[in-house]
Amino acid sequence: MHASNSKEVRTRFAPSPTGFLHIGSGRTALFAWAYARRFKGTFILRIEDTDVERSTPEAVQVILDGMKWLGLDHDEGPFYQMQRMDRYKEVIHTMLSAGTVYPCYCTPEELDAMREAQRARGEKPRYDGRWRPESGKTLPPVPAGIKPAMRFKNPLDGVVAWEDRVKGRIEFNNGELDDFVIARSDATPTYNFCVCVDDWDMKITHVIRGDDHVNNTPRQINVLNALGAELPEYGHVSMILGDDGQKLSKRHGAVSVMEYPQNGYLRDAVINYLARLGWSHGDEEIFSVQQFCEWFDLDHITPSPAQFNTEKLRWLNHEYIKRTEPSVLAEMLKPFLGLAGLSTANGPAIEKVAELLRDRAPTLAEMAALAHYFYVRPEVEGALLVQHLTDAAKPAIAALSATLATTNWIKADISAAVKAQVTQLGLKMPQLMMPLRVLLTGQTQTPAIDAIMEVLGREEVLARLARMWPEGESLQFDKTQNFKP
Judged by CB, which is closer to ligand GLU: 16, or 481? Answer: 16
Judged by CB, which is closer to ligand GLU: 193, or 477? Answer: 193
Could you give the residue numbers annotated as active site? 250
Show the binding pattern over residues 25-64: x = contacts ligand GLU (CB under 6 A), - = does not: -----------------------x----------------
Cβ 300 to ligand GLU, closest distance in Å? 21
- Among 9, 10, 15, 298, indicate the residue that binds ligand GLU (CB under 6 A): 15
* Binding to ligand GLU in span 208-267, by CB under 6 A: 209, 213
Select the span of 8-16, 93-101, 240-248, 328-336 touching ligand GLU (CB under 6 A).
Answer: 8-16
- Does 190 engage in binding with ligand GLU (CB under 6 A)? no
Show the binding pattern over residues 423-442: x = contacts ligand GLU (CB under 6 A), - = does not: --------------------
Cβ 50 to ligand GLU, closest distance in Å? 9
Select the span of 14-22, 70-78, 341-349, 451-459 touching ligand GLU (CB under 6 A).
Answer: 14-22
Cβ 276 to ligand GLU, closest distance in Å? 22
- Does 195 engage in binding with ligand GLU (CB under 6 A)? yes
Chain CA centroid to CA 307, Å: 14
Select the span of 12-20, 162-170, 430-438, 456-464 touching ligand GLU (CB under 6 A).
Answer: 12-20
Judged by CB, which is closer to ligand GLU: 148, or 210? Answer: 210
Q: Which residues bind ligand GLU (CB under 6 A)?
A: 14-16, 48, 195, 209, 213
